[in-house]
Structure 1
Amino acid sequence: MNVRAIFIDMDGTLLTASNNISKRNLEAIYMLQNQGVKVFLATGRHYEVTAPYHKEIGLQTPMICLNGASIHDAETGKAIQMKTVQVNEERFHQLTAEHAFNVMIHTANGLYCKEINEEIDYWTKVGQIPPRYIGDLRQANYQDVLKYSVRTGAPIPELSTLFKKEAEVINWNDGFELLAPNVSKWSAIKSLLRTLRISPNEVVAIGDGPNDIEMLRHVGTGVAMGNASEEVKKAADFVTGHHENDGLAEFIEGYLQIPYKSYVI
């Protein structure tokens, strides 16, 4: 394959369930870089909990965060692109406050949330920055929203559909997310490819979630993880192994023909 760039999702793709990068995945990425392939992270995470892994790998490429709502400079971390979303706040909070949902609002200035959970505790530990506000979000003073995340505990498309005229909706098994219209990992990738003068045909993208579907469909080679849903797999050109079994490295070694060879880093 003539590959000049690869965009890698983090959770369920690069990382194990314990939020680690396996040695085999790390070595496969190093081999790609040694062959001149540009490696990017494209994640739903915010910058603070993306940057430590970006640093661990030693990447020098911009980070696509919050499903494409922001792109961050590799060296400074400064947002070089941000796409804010606007919904009817009164209506949003009325609909979500009627249920025992946790709501997380990612803004240009940090995270606002209804309540703390295990996920937010992990973000605080890794990113070293706690939420700016915890409590009734109707009383919070925030602006420049990049992503709304509603944790319902189960799919609830009848609620998320109500926001389709205002925002880009991503449905998950445990809730949904809202972005600015037409914002996705793919929209951010397109922006970077124009700057780098790389054709989408020379690009690989690999992921496992509904937020990865657009990029898998539009790059030259889309790769779904073995742990992905059938919907995600149908959007891809290839399906590789499970993220707990180094599916990322499996694809790099097999389809990009870079052999696995353990060596001291």
Structure 2
Amino acid sequence: MDMRAIFIDMDGTLLKASNYISERNKEAIYRLIDQGIMVFLATGRHYEVTAPYHKEIGLQTPMICLNGASIHDAETGKAMQMKTVRLNEERFHHLTAESPCNVIIHTATGLFCKETNEEIDYWIKVGKIPPQYIGDLRQATYQDVLKYSVRTGAASPEISSLFKTEAGVIDWNDGFELVAPDVSKWAAIKSLLDEYQISPNEVAAIGDGPNDIEMLRHAGIGVAMGNASEKVKAAADFVTEHHENDGLAEFIERYLLKSYAV
């Protein structure tokens, strides 16, 4: 396959459940780079918990973070692009308060959350920056929101659908996320493809989540992980192995590396 770039999701794709990158995945990525293929990360994570892995692999490409709400420079970490979402805050907090959940608000200047948990503790450990605020978000002062994340512990389309006129909604098995209506990983990818003068047909994208569906559909080659849902798999051209079995490396070795190409 004649590819010039690959965009890789992190959780459930690049990373194992233990939040580590396997040596096999690293080696496959290194060989891609040696072959002249540009490697990008495209994740729902915020910059601070993306950058350490980007550095670990030694990538020199911009990072797509927060489902495409921000793109960060590889060297400085400075936001090259940010797209904020605007909700009726009073309505948002009223609706989410009716359901037991944690609310995490990603802003241009940091993280605000209703309560801490194991996920946020991990973010603090990796990103080295604690939330700016933990507590009743109705009392918090924040602006320039890039992403709202509502963790209800279960799929909550009855709540998330109430925001579809205000935001782009991404439904997960444990809640939902809200971004600006024109934000997605694919929209961010397109802006980078324009910059690098790469055609979508020369791009592979690989991921496992509902926030990956659009990029899997529109990239030249869309690859779903074996651990993805059936809906995500249906959007892809290929389905590779489970992320615990190095499905990323499996695809790269089989289809993209010249010495393995078929």
What's the TM-score bracket when you normalise by the shorter of the two chains?
Answer: over 0.9
The alignment's C-alpha RMSD in Å is 0.8
Corresponding residue for 1:53? 53
Corresponding residue for 1:31? 31
Distance across 2 between alignment mates of 1:202 and 1:259: 19
Report the secondary structure of 2:27's partner residue: helix
Aligned pairs for 1:90-109 within 5 A: 90-109=90-109
Corresponding residue for 1:158? 158
Aligned residues: 260
Distance across 1 between alignment mates of 2:188 and 2:240: 24
* Residue identity (%): 81
TM-score (norm 1): 0.97
Distance across 1 between alignment mates of 2:171 and 2:226: 20
Assess if the C-alpha contact under 8 Å between 1:83 and 1:183 holds in 2. Answer: yes
Distance across 2 between alignment mates of 1:254 and 1:94: 50
Distance across 1 between alignment mates of 2:149 and 2:190: 24
- The superposition leaves residues 176-233 of structure 1 with CA deviations (integer Å, 9 ceiling, x where unpaired) of 0000002100000000000000000000000000000000000100000000000000
Report the secondary structure of 1:147's partner residue: strand
Question: Partner letter of residue 19 of structure 2?
Answer: N
* Residue 97 of structure 1: how far off its partner (Å): 1.0
Report the secondary structure of 1:194's partner residue: helix
Corresponding position: 1:78 with 2:78: yes
* Residue 142 of structure 1: how far off its partner (Å): 0.2
* Residue 258 of structure 1: how far off its partner (Å): 4.8
Corresponding residue for 2:116? 116
Aligned pairs for 1:83-232 within 5 A: 83-232=83-232
Assess if the C-alpha contact under 8 Å between 2:32 and 2:257 holds in 1. Answer: no
Corresponding residue for 2:62? 62
* Residue 257 of structure 1: how far off its partner (Å): 3.5
Distance across 2 between alignment mates of 1:257 and 1:84: 38
Question: Partner letter of residue 151 of structure 2?
Answer: R
- The superposition leaves residues 8-45 of structure 1 with CA deviations (integer Å, 9 ceiling, x where unpaired) of 00000000000000000000000000000000000000
Question: Partner letter of residue 36 of structure 1?
Answer: G
Q: Which runs of 5+ in 2 are unaligned?
A: none
TM-score (norm 2): 0.98
Distance across 1 between alignment mates of 2:104 and 2:170: 14
Q: Which runs of 5+ in 1 are unaligned?
A: 261-265
